[in-house]
Structures are given as C-alpha cells and as structure tokens.
Amino acid sequence: MKEQLDITLFMLVNYWKKMPEFSVYVDDQEIVIDRSDMESGKLVEKSFKTDFLEKGQHRIVIELKNKNKDDIVRELDGTVVRETNMVLFSIAVNNFRTPLKDLLARNSSFITPDGVRHPLKKLPLTIKHNGKFVFEFESPFAYWAIKEL
C-alpha cells in the first residue's frame, strides 16, 4: 500500500543581508520550496505533497547550508546582536498537527555537518548552525502516529 502525504512546515527565517540557504527533502528527494513570500521574522506555512511512499521508514529533512561568520553580528564583548537562522515551529501531516508536536520532538534530531546526532527535546527548534533537522516516521502515517502517541 502506498500513500501520498500533504506536509505543511510552519517556520520563519531571520536574516538581514541574505536569506538562509536551506533545502527540504522527503527521503532523498529534494522538495522545491517557494521562498518569494519569506520575509525576515514572518511566520509562513510551506505546503507540499510527497510522492507516493511505500510502506516502511521515511524521513523529512530540513538542511541549513552555507552559514558562515558573516551571518552573525556581535558586540565587542561577543554578544550576538543579529544572526541568520531558521525557526521550525511545527509540521502538519495530512492536517494532523496539534498532538504531532510531541511526536515530532520524540522522533527528530539535529545532525551537525560532522555527523553528530542531537536528539530533539521540543519544538520550536531554532536552527542556528549548518546541519540537518531530521524527522523519522513510518508509512502508513496515521497508523504509525496513533501507535506512537
């Protein structure tokens, strides 16, 4: 049995010079995200449909890339004044959102470029460093979510 999922990311980006470079993947397929309405500090909903997923393990990945020291402004004492980052508030799958926040946190991690995995404790997640947010789930999604809740 294959299923197609409707995914909505609830997120915002903070920047002052340039939009953070990021990619979204379902498994290994990159999803094209329209960034035309993404203004700094503005909460947006980005929706897309997955391909038909086979029964089994899958993952959604949000990757922040190419952030460097020029994307951070500090005071002389080192205090951060401005920083380019992304904030992931939630993900809805087939309009299933409210109880999903805890489920997301339990089944997600942040992986640094050197491969170190940091389990998530809660959402929202502020992504300040290059790396990948990974949400792992199973298809059929509804059966998996009910079992995990």
Q: Which of 48, 5, 24 is nearest to 138 (CA)?
A: 5
Span 42-69, mean pLDDT? Answer: 93
The per-residue pLDDT for 69 is 86
Question: Per-residue pLDDT tens for 109-144?
Answer: 999 999 999 998 888 889 988 999 999 999 999 899
CATH architecture of 6-148: Sandwich (2.60)
**Quick check: 29 and 69 in contact, CB under 8 A?**
no
The per-residue pLDDT for 99 is 62
The per-residue pLDDT for 11 is 93
Span 79-101, mean pLDDT? Answer: 84
Span 89-107, mean pLDDT? Answer: 80
Backbone phi and psi for residue 144, each to the nearest 5 degrees, phi listed first: -65, -45
Q: Within a 10 A sphere around the Cβ of 133, how many other Cβ atoms?
A: 23
Question: Per-residue pLDDT tens for 17-34?
Answer: 888 889 999 999 999 888
Span 50-54, mean pLDDT? Answer: 94
Strand runs (DSSP E) across the chain, as ranges?
6-14, 21-26, 29-31, 44-49, 56-65, 72-74, 80-83, 85-93, 108-111, 117-119, 125-127, 131-139
